A and B are shown apart, each in its own frame.
Chain A
């Protein structure tokens, strides 16, 4: 199944823009949701059933595996849709489904669709791996396990020869980068209690990301705490101990973020691709880690920590409500035309301004996410240094753009050094 013995880099795809960004930047596999039965039902614009064929086509062209997430809790009224989704995924050629509910696991097994066990099932020991090995070849471990515990499970799989339906040894998958949930394996009821909005049906409203105070109701005293964001963990990143993580024997590294923008997917996947390749080439160094960390900080993050993988450290909490990214994007123009022979892109300025030397980003469903520096441009057919709203702008570009593309200016934020 696997071309080489490298750990598989799995990328999130919330829409075609992010899917393309993942494919262009070195993902080995991608995961995505369709319709409402996935953990990002509310947060991201999901694909529909009709998109399955195109997703598979784009993935196959790059020899990338595709996984469909069907990992919410399932009610009786969902059963028909689940079966239809699995049938369609199978006939479209999707590699596997990622499941939590036993009804999904059972039906997929029945029709011969490969199953991956979702982190929502909270696997924390070798016996549970054996239990699910009757159904699945790949299992995501609970995010609360330490590296030592993960290694013990992988060693146990080899020692006890635990194999899945395919006949191969069970592969262990770990969450490597992205948002961490304050609840154990995402089993959170905060949104449900506060806003009737069930996280376990993909409708998390991020209650944990807000600032809170702790008040003694008897006295009215407000407890002094040094951080108001008492439930918002920093984001997970394993880039600084990727060597130790790969040494556990885990075979899949999952990147979180189906709700994230395409440039997020592009940056994170590109960075982890470099890090993984460096490890196998024997030149993974702490100096490079520093550079990679800076790259990862350019896109959405709540600052980073190593999650629970080091076991001893307890939670580290974010101290801001939103992102601490060192860069931000501002929308400026809409794609108009690409002249392939002279390799010139034409955009119509719709907001703000841009000047030669600016760092720019183009995103779109076919283009993905591409960053570059503006070296020269023509504004309304004359060479110019600056363009304003309403201007028709052309500049040399070595890749094709489309009318569905958006042009953004990349600028530093207050978090930049």
Chain B
């Protein structure tokens, strides 16, 4: 299973996650921050759990490229 977590409140809206993993990320036009699609929010942290292993590489590069280091991607 792939688990992606995102600490959204500190996002600076640079758009890198969308460039790296366009199937899982969009930029919100409401507040200019990134949104992790189909994720669940708990205390400001957004989590997406999926069995689709194919998204791992793209999202790992989103993690590496996030300038604010707000994304973690784990394979469990």
Residue of B whose beta carbon sits closest to that of A199:
B67
Which of A78-86, A316-324, A333-341 binds B? A78-86
Q: Are A36 and B67 in contact (CB under 8 A)?
A: no
Size category of the A interface is 20 to 34
For window 69-101 of A, CB contacts with B under 8 Å fall at 75-82
B65: Cβ under 8 A from any A Cβ: yes
Q: Are B14 and A203 in contact (CB under 8 A)?
A: yes
Main secondary structure of the interface of A (DSSP, over half): loop
For window 155-208 of A, CB contacts with B under 8 Å fall at 191, 195-198, 201-203, 205
Contacts of B64 in A (CB 8 A): 196
Q: Are A196 and B65 in contact (CB under 8 A)?
A: yes
Q: Are B30 and A81 in contact (CB under 8 A)?
A: yes
Task: Among B16, B32, B65, B68, point to the contact of A42 (Cβ < 8 A).
Answer: B68
Q: Are A77 and B13 in contact (CB under 8 A)?
A: yes
Q: Are A203 and B32 in contact (CB under 8 A)?
A: no
Q: How far is the CB of A368 from chain B (nearest CB, A)?
A: 26
Residue of B whose beta carbon sits closest to that of A197:
B67
Contacts of A191 in B (CB 8 A): 67
0/1 string, B55-76, CB within 8 A of A gives 1: 0000000001111100000000
Q: Are A79 and B29 in contact (CB under 8 A)?
A: yes
Residue of A whose beta carbon sits closest to that of B28:
A77
Main secondary structure of the interface of B (DSSP, over half): loop
Q: A36-B33, A203-B14 are in contact. Are A77 and B27 (CB under 8 A)?
A: yes
Q: A197-B67, A198-B67, A203-B68 are in contact. Are A81 and B31 (CB under 8 A)?
A: yes
Residue of B whose beta carbon sits closest to that of A45:
B10
Bound CA–CA A120/B32 (angstroms): 21
Q: How far is the CB of A266 from chain B (nearest CB, A)?
A: 28
B12: Cβ under 8 A from any A Cβ: yes
Q: Are A78 and B13 in contact (CB under 8 A)?
A: yes
A142: Cβ under 8 A from any B Cβ: no
Residue of B whose beta carbon sits closest to that of A82:
B32
Contacts of B33 in A (CB 8 A): 36
0/1 string, B1-25, CB within 8 A of A gives 1: 0000000000111111000000000
Residue of A whose beta carbon sits closest to that of B67:
A197
Bound CA–CA A151/B29 (angstroms): 43
Residue of A whose beta carbon sits closest to that of B16:
A196
Q: How far is the CB of B20 from chain A (nearest CB, A)?
A: 10
A141: Cβ under 8 A from any B Cβ: no
Task: Among B27, B30, B66, B67, point to the contact of A75 (Cβ < 8 A).
Answer: B27
Task: Among A82, A195, A201, point to the contact of B12 (Cβ < 8 A).
Answer: A201
A348: Cβ under 8 A from any B Cβ: no
Bound CA–CA A78/B13 (angstroms): 8
A105: Cβ under 8 A from any B Cβ: no
- The 9 residue pairs across chains A and B that have the minimum distance between CB atoms: A197-B67, A77-B27, A81-B32, A78-B32, A36-B12, A41-B12, A203-B67, A196-B65, A80-B29
Question: Can you name 24 A-B residue pairings with CB atoms under 8 Å?
Answer: A35-B32, A36-B11, A36-B13, A36-B32, A42-B68, A75-B15, A76-B29, A77-B13, A77-B15, A77-B27, A77-B28, A78-B32, A80-B30, A82-B32, A191-B67, A196-B16, A196-B65, A196-B66, A197-B14, A197-B67, A198-B67, A201-B13, A203-B68, A205-B67
A80-B31, A205-B67 are known; give 13 further A-B pairs, CB within 8 A. Answer: A35-B32, A36-B33, A37-B32, A77-B15, A77-B28, A77-B32, A79-B29, A80-B32, A81-B32, A195-B67, A197-B68, A202-B12, A203-B14
- Residues of B at under 8 Å CB distance from A? 11-16, 27-33, 64-68
- Residues of A at under 8 Å CB distance from B? 35-37, 41-42, 75-82, 191, 195-198, 201-203, 205
